[in-house]
Each structure stands twice: as C-alpha cells, then as structure tokens.
A = this chain, B = another copy of it.
Amino acid sequence: MEQHVVIGIDLGGTNTKIGIVNRNGEIIARTVISTRVNDFDDYIEILAGECEKLAKENDCEGAILGVGVGAPNANYSNGTIEFAPNLPWKGVVPFTEKLSKRLKIPTYIMNDANAAAYGEKIYGYAREFYNFIMITLGTGVGSGIFVDDRIVNGQDGLAGELGHFTVRHNGRLCHCGRRGCLERYASASGVVQTVKELLKSDKSGKSLLADIDKDKITSYDVYLAAKKGDSLAKAVFDFTGDILGEALANFSLFSEPEAIILFGGLVRSGDLLMDPLKESFDRNILPAYKGKIQILTSKFSGSEAAIIGASSLVWK
C-alpha cells in the first residue's frame, strides 16, 4: 500500500515553494512557482496544477492527505489571507476554500512564521522547549510564538506580528503605514536601506559597496563585502545586530522564553550578524532574565522549516 504524504507550501512575497512531505518530516519532492500572479483565481489554478503535477511525477496522486500552507497575514481560523502588504491580492482572500475546492482535499493555512515555528517544534531545535519565539528574517520579519507548549494565535489567528514592533520612534516608514518597525531594519530590505544611508554619509568612497549600482545592492553583497573586511559593510551588520538584539531582549519581557530561534536569509550571515546581536541582547536583557534565554539559529535552511511546519498542519 502506498505511504500517505502531505503537501507543504511556503507562500512568500516573491516565490511559492511546494514540497511533498512524508510522515517523518522529510521533503521527498519539491518545486517552485512565482507568487506574482495578480489575479487570485489564476494563482490558485497555477498552484493547484503544480501540486497535481508534482504528485503525479512522484507516483503519489492518491496518497495525498491534505495541504498545509504557511503565508504572510494568514488567518488560521478563517482560512483566509488578510491585507497582506507583500502579496498581489488586496483585502481578504478565501485561500483554503478555493484551494480545497479545486484539489478536493483538506487545506489548512497559517501565518508563515507560525508554520516555521511548528516545523522547529516538531522536527527542529525547539522539540525540548515549552516557551520559545521563532523570528524569521527574510524579505520582511515574521514571528511565531510558543507559550506553554502551544502556539499563540491571538483572538483570530493574527498574533505574532513582532516584525512591526516600533524599534525607533518616528523611524523609517514601513509598508504597513507606521514608522520605525523592526522589519524596516532587520530584514534583507532593511539591511539594503542601511547600506544606502551609510554610503550617503560616507564621503571616503573606499567601501567595496560604493562600486555597486545603488539600486541593485542586495544583502548578499553586503555579506560578501564584510567577509572581505569592508568596514562599512561590517558597520551595517553591527547596526542591524544592535537593533535586533535590543528588540529580542524586549520581546523576552512578554513570555520569558527558554530560547529565541532565528531563521531566514539574513541568518546565513553567521557571526557577522550574530556577534553584535548577542552582545546587544546581553546588554539589553532585563537583569532578572540574564543567562536564562538562549539565542539559536534554526537547524533548517531555506524554506524547509516553513514547508515542513505547514505540512504538519495536516497531520495534526
């Protein structure tokens, strides 16, 4: 008899990553499509088609129990995505209703960072923790929070938006309409904005980053320059780590977690980010919490945690 599997989907601002996941949390096949499809019904049709194709190619068409999706601004209770500023679809879109109708299998959706936190809880470092906070550092900054071994959903599934915490009063303008959100500093795009600001005030022209077209600089360029010893690039990581460390110390005041686990592209910068971050965290943590809260980086890379976490929604 065919082994049952599920589909896990990591729906991001740019790409949608699809994986077939077995009972052991292993991704046995994967593919990717663009999220930039303006019409929501068209997007669902493309997504459903890819799911069917992937299943067919891997001889498990009849074995798929359901689909779990991690997406920004997802409402777990209603199965909707609501007012997601990074996605092409405006307002509230009935995600699970449309996809399950099309695929004829149960579909579940949750906040992408919550999905990553589930992945970490079930298959990663968080297995031993009852209280932890997962922070995803991607295009934006997301969070998934476990309190007493349960995810914090809030009154209707939209809790855990720590990327929009005000870290600088009257600071950088965020796409949410507010100012000074953590996301404007500690995301890939926030890092790029920091580079631009530092380059503007740096008249020496000595930085390796000064030679790159300003509109094309990425956080990966900053990483490469810092690795070569570029002092402006290092200053970008120091600034980012300092703000993020202070923010994590503040987040700890809510739930006094055993650990904060970081995940996403920026984390791959390694010690360049983690050293100033940990120094700032230690400096800003409330004395009563000192030495009690671990700062870890996820054992998963890329979109693994989100796909695996999303898939776990079906097994639940």
Measured CB to CB, the residues of A under 8 A from B are 73, 82-83, 130-131, 145, 147-148, 150, 152-156, 158-162, 164-169, 176-178, 246, 250-251, 253-258, 284, 286-289, 292-293
CA distance A269 to B130 in the complex (A): 40
CA distance A152 to B165 in the complex (A): 20
Inter-subunit contact A152/B289 (CB<8 Å)? no
Q: Which residues of B contact A165 (CB under 8 A)?
A: 250, 253
Contact of A256 among B159, B168, B284 (CB under 8 A): B159
Contact of A169 among B82, B156, B169 (CB under 8 A): B169
Inter-subunit contact A289/B168 (CB<8 Å)? no
CA distance A185 to B175 in the complex (A): 28
Nearest CB to that of A168 among chain B residues?
Answer: B169
Interface centre among A73, A162, A178, A292, by most chain B C-beta atoms within 10 angstroms, is A178
CA distance A153 to B255 in the complex (A): 7
Quickly give the copy total for this chain.
2
Inter-subunit contact A256/B130 (CB<8 Å)? no
Contact of A131 among B155, B166, B176, B293 (CB under 8 A): B155
CA distance A82 to B166 in the complex (A): 29
Q: Which residues of B contact A82 (CB under 8 A)?
A: 288
Interface of A is mostly: loop
Contact of A147 among B152, B156, B169, B256 (CB under 8 A): B152
CA distance A288 to B111 in the complex (A): 13
Given contacts A83-B287, A176-B286, A176-B287, contact A158 B256 (CB under 8 A): yes
CA distance A36 to B181 in the complex (A): 42
CA distance A161 to B165 in the complex (A): 16
Contact of A287 among B166, B177, B256 (CB under 8 A): B177
Inter-subunit contact B148/A131 (CB<8 Å)? no
Inter-subunit contact B287/A255 (CB<8 Å)? no
Q: Which residues of B contact A256 (CB under 8 A)?
A: 153-156, 158-161
Q: Which residues of B contact A246 (CB under 8 A)?
A: 166, 169
Nearest CB in chain B: distance from A43 CB, A? 21
Contact of A254 among B150, B162, B176, B284 (CB under 8 A): B162
Contact of A154 among B176, B177, B255 (CB under 8 A): B255
